[in-house]
Chain A
Amino acid sequence: QQQVKQSPQSLIVQKGGISIINCAYENTAFDYFPWYQQFPGKGPALLIAIRPDVSEKKEGRFTISFNKSAKQFSLHIMDSQPGDSATYFCAANHHNAGNMLTFGGGTRLMVKP
């Protein structure tokens, strides 16, 4: 059972545009929602994370929006750059129930120059 659904699977954005990736979860016990960026041949790198008591978190060009009632969260990449081209994974975990991450299926982002 996939508990975190991520969309779209792939995304092409022009340089300077906004990239938006969405995730929806089922388990209301999840209490931590990180986003990871992965380049080919590398391990995932933590980008930004949010807890459900906050509706939005911004770090540089990256913003997470969180809608607890809808059980959805999204990543916005402002002023997208070719160097942002990578695969992005949303994830969720339940800190007091093992803390293991449940990942979305990933979004392959390509930013065209």
Chain B
Amino acid sequence: EAGVTQSPTHLIKTRGQQATLRCSPISGHTSVYWYQQALGLGLQFLLWYDEGEERNRGNFPPRFSGRQFPNYSSELNVNALELEDSALYLCASSPSWTQYFGPGTRLLVL
């Protein structure tokens, strides 16, 4: 069974630009979660999508947004990039209780 996949693996942007990160969940999983893992800040919850709807969001500004498509894949958009947005962005999918993580997208903002 294929795991959670994310693309791209690395992304380099400059301040003010927009970044788009993609996630494909494990087949059969309808929930997708996004987390930010920044140096020194640990893993922080960003967004939760289920059945195409945004169900919850963490303590992040509105320039972090996303969506979930009918095939349950998801996209995370970060607008007006700031230097502190540099981090590993992790996507997880879940059938119920357990969350399974992808390898992440490492975003570097210069």
Question: Which residues of A pack against B, CB within 8 Å?
Answer: 32, 34, 36, 41-46, 49, 89, 91, 95, 98-106
Contact = CB atoms under 8 A, between A and B. Distances in A.
A93 B101 CA distance: 15
A44 B104 CA distance: 9
Given A46-B99, A99-B33, 12 more contacts: A44-B101, A46-B101, A49-B98, A91-B43, A95-B97, A98-B48, A99-B48, A99-B97, A100-B45, A101-B99, A103-B42, A103-B43
Given A43-B90, A105-B42, A106-B42, A100 B48 contact: yes
Q: Which 3 A-B pairs rank lowest in CB-CB distance, beginning with the nearest?
A: A43-B101, A103-B43, A98-B56
Q: How large is the interface on B (under 10, 10 to 19, 20 to 34, 35 or more residues)?
A: 20 to 34
B42 A43 contact: no
A27 B45 CA distance: 16
Nearest to A6: B42
B58 interface: yes
A47 B33 CA distance: 18
B73 interface: no
Contacts of B103: 41-43
B21 to A, nearest CB: 13
B31 interface: yes
Contacts of B64: none
A90 B26 CA distance: 23
Contacts of A104: 42
Interface in B61-110: 90, 92, 94, 97-104
Nearest to A100: B45
B55 interface: yes
A101 B45 contact: yes
Q: Which of B43, B55, B56, B101 has the most CB of A within 10 A?
A: B43
Nearest to B41: A105
B1 to A, nearest CB: 14
A43 B100 CA distance: 9
B68 to A, nearest CB: 15
Given A42-B103, A100-B56, A34 B98 contact: yes
A46 B100 contact: yes
